[in-house]
Structure 1
């Protein structure tokens, strides 16, 4: 599959440092970043039974976006502790078009952060600590230009690590047009800046199954 289905109009990157939330200032601020690509929706305005070609065409897009985001955050991949993804589909598209981002967006970040197809046990992603074992959380909706999307964030190795439950609001002014899609990746360097509600700690991950 060629990249002929891919027509990117804009790319927006945002990075923020959170120094405190009215509490003690941590030694290192929490850094969160997101990258959003605005591209033409080749299936806009009609029902297309076979939409999988776009999923394949988005694979290199996801890889490039993940790399650009990490670079924009000015941290090495090893510093990333949380991730998430999402999509806003223009009004002439359908929710399922955003679902095409699950594989290209998720695996692009996981591979950048060290996920391996055969780690330790022979099963995908199992048996080796620290290689983006957790599924990448996601959200999507159909929306008008300027629609904001709260991108969920969870720990890269264990979805039950409560301190890393977070969300980052992302919007691209003027996008998506009705015949466009906004594809988003987000990453963070740590837990919520004042996380203190208990639950599994990142230091206590023991199962290495992507959950605990």
Structure 2
């Protein structure tokens, strides 16, 4: 694994829309900029090298995230993303965020019943990634759904991938948009029968 650099985005929001929050919201996103080992390889090339890298990176970045954000019991949401340089293939990023990184993330925090939102895209250097946060254990914890844009000015270069993980402690600031819960959705689905 050829890592050029590690990046850390750490924000603590104390005041939102002019009002002090009861407790600050903390979001962190950590990433590595690494050489894409599959650049120049034909479509259909075995993706296993990227899967192995993503698992190792997911474990490493989650451990670093916990050093910043603290006890995993305090986490409310998680996220993952991959930005692939223009010489790579979208599937290079997709396999990194869908195949194994989530298992590494869950293994470190020892939680995570709900799928981890993620996105991958092919971009030029300086493009932003949307860290789409989703709830960790309760899929209907809608106050845990949030977004944090991040960007690295010089990454990914055409032959690189920027692989990111993110965590959030606390609900979205001033969360008050009550949506359906599981029983509402179940009732709607039952009505289709």
TM-score (norm 2): 0.87
Cα RMSD (Å): 1.5
Per mean C-alpha deviation after superposition, the further-off stretch among 81-90 and 97-106 is 97-106
Deviation at 1:53, TM superposition (A): 2.8
Q: Aligned partners of 1:64 and 1:51: how far apart in 2?
A: 20
Aligned partners of 2:89, 2:139: CA distance in 1, in Å?
Answer: 28
- Once the two structures are superposed, residues 46-104 of structure 1 have per-residue CA deviations (whole angstroms, 9 ceiling, x without a partner) of 3242112320243222101110112123x111111100100000000011000122233
Unaligned runs of 5+ in 2: 182-193
Partners of 1:17 and 1:31 within 8 A in 2: yes
- Does residue 52 of structure 2 align to residue 72 of structure 1? no
The reply on whether 1:133 has 2:113 as its aligned counterpart is yes
The aligned counterpart of 2:187 is none
- Aligned residue for 1:46, secondary structure, equals coil
Which residue is equivalent to 1:170? 150
The equivalent residue for 1:96 is 91
Equivalent residues of 1:161, 1:200 under 8 A apart:
no
**Bigger helix fraction:** 2
Determine if the alignment matches structure 1 residue 46 to structure 2 residue 41: yes
Matched, 1:158 2:154: no
Q: 2:9 aligns with which of 3, 7, 14?
A: 14
The answer to whether residue 57 in structure 2 is matched with residue 61 in structure 1 is yes
Q: Which residue of 1 aligns with 2:23?
A: 28
8 Å contact from structure 1 (residues 23, 194) kept in 2: no
1:188 is aligned, of 153, 168, 171, to 168
State the Cα distance separating 1:191 from its structure 2 match: 1.2
In the superposition, the TM-score normalised over structure 1's length comes to 0.79
The answer as to whether partners of 1:161 and 1:199 remain within 8 angstroms in 2 is: no
Q: Which residue of 1 aligns with 2:189?
A: none
CA–CA separation in structure 2 for the residues paired with 1:23 and 1:192: 15
Local SS of the residue matching 1:108:
helix
Structure 2 Cα separation of the partners of residues 103 and 133 of structure 1: 16
Larger fraction in strand: 2
